[in-house]
Amino acid sequence: YSEEYMNEFGLYYNSPNRKNHFPYVYRVILASDDIEKVKKLFSFHLQSKKKAS
């Protein structure tokens, strides 16, 4: 998904329901050489949402 998002950046970034995915897509691209970093990015996001509830 992250590669497709970046390949079709204009489409995805300008879509109201996908624009907010950009920070996560960008971080995944930056950390794509290390799957553990990618897992941490998403686990942090899920933990943050649980605390906010």
pLDDT the model gives residue 29:
83
pLDDT the model gives residue 53:
53
Domain ranges of the chain: 2-52
Backbone angles phi and psi of 34, in degrees to 5: -135, 100
pLDDT the model gives residue 3:
86
Which pLDDT tens digits describe the chain residue by residue (53 residues)? 888 988 899 999 999 999 999 998 888 888 777 777 777 766 755 555 555 55
Cβ count near 6 (within 10 Å): 15
pLDDT the model gives residue 27:
83
CB 27 within 8 A of CB 1: no
pLDDT the model gives residue 12:
94
CB 12 within 8 A of CB 5: yes
